[in-house]
Amino acid sequence: MKIFLIEDDEKILRLVTAQLEKYGYQVITPENFQTITDTFTKEQPQLVLLDVNLPYFDGFYWCRKIREISMVPILFISSRDSNMDQVMALEYGADDYLVKPFSYEILIAKIKSLLRRVGEYTPIQEERTFLWEGLTYYPERLEMSYQGKTELLTKREGGLLDLLLTDTPKIVRREQILNKLWDDEHFVDDNTLSVNVTRLRRKLDSLGMTNVLHTIRGQGYQLRKE
């Protein structure tokens, strides 16, 4: 289980890393504080621990950038304890906020809670793989590849592809997708689902898998290679 620890204070970095490794987590640290998202994309961590005060760009900036490409849990750890800082962190997409100094027991508990929430806190097991018409999808990584090209997916794009690959060649109904990807379909409009379908279709197109994700009017969506 990889945790991306984005912290510029060497002492805190060393202490937190030691604690996390005691619990069996693999800790990834920034190669360069100007290329946080490059390291994130390369390493594909299951959780991000993020400070607010960082060189070049603050943690709010990187939180927003990570959220553009992933729904991985993000936990802020910062000495900034104002309500506004915590509100900003949540507004930019963070899942939780922990004020320094903190107890390591609370930090570990929050990490486990966030991982359970997204289904990542499970015993180590063989990675699942979907294969379809030359496409390989790794749901735990939210990564798909085709003919040497790779695309990363958001959590909802990955959930959508998971459903489509599981049921192919059957049509996956709109209600089934909403129930799977959102807690309550009544609070999700058609446009929200359409946006996620469009994003997934574009990523499939970018791999060279064009015209495989079909909208079946009045019914739902289907994976079909023509």
CA distance 3 to 17: 9
134 CB contacts (<8 Å, ≥6 apart)? 146, 147, 209
Same domain? For 138 and 173 the reply is yes
Q: What is the mean pLDDT of residues 187-194?
A: 71
210, pLDDT greater than 70: yes
Q: Which residues pair with 97 in a beta bridge?
A: 76
| C-alpha 160: how far from chain center | 14
Which domain CATH number covers 67? Answer: 3.40.50.2300
211, pLDDT greater than 70: yes
CA distance 213 to 200: 8
Same domain? For 143 and 103 the reply is no
Sheet-wide strand order for 143-146: 130-132, 135-138, 143-146, 149-152
Residue count of the chain: 226
**pLDDT per residue over 88-132, tens digit each?**
998 888 999 999 988 888 999 999 989 887 765 444 345 678 899
Whether residue 169 has a cis bond before it, omega within 30° of 0: yes
**Residue at 122 is within a domain:** no
Quick one: pLDDT band at residue 190, thresholds 50, 70, 90? low
Identify the domain containing residue 151 by its residue range: 130-223
- Secondary structure string (H, E, C) spanning 195-225: HHHHHHHHHHHHHCCCCCEEEECCCEEEECC
**pLDDT per residue over 1-29, tens digit each?**
899 999 999 999 999 999 899 888 999 99
How many structural domains comprise the chain? 2
Same domain? For 34 and 99 the reply is yes
**pTM as predicted:** 0.53
Same domain? For 104 and 156 the reply is no
**Residue at 20 is within a domain:** yes
Strand, helix or coil for residue 29: coil
**pLDDT per residue over 135-174, tens digit each?**
999 888 889 999 999 999 988 899 999 999 998 889 999 8
Quick one: pLDDT band at residue 183, thresholds 50, 70, 90? low
Same domain? For 19 and 101 the reply is yes
Same domain? For 21 and 78 the reply is yes
Strand, helix or coil for residue 138: strand
| C-alpha 204: how far from chain center | 18
CA atoms within 13 A on the CB side of 153: 28
CA distance 179 to 77: 33
Q: Which residues pair with 28 in a beta bridge?
A: 4
Same domain? For 208 and 107 the reply is no
Same domain? For 104 and 159 the reply is no
**Residue at 216 is within a domain:** yes
Same domain? For 138 and 87 the reply is no
Same domain? For 45 and 101 the reply is yes
Q: Is 121 exposed, middle or buried (0-12, 13-18, 19+ CB in 10 A)?
A: middle
Same domain? For 92 and 158 the reply is no
Which domain CATH number covers 169? Answer: 1.10.10.10
pLDDT > 70: percent of the chain: 92
Same domain? For 156 and 80 the reply is no
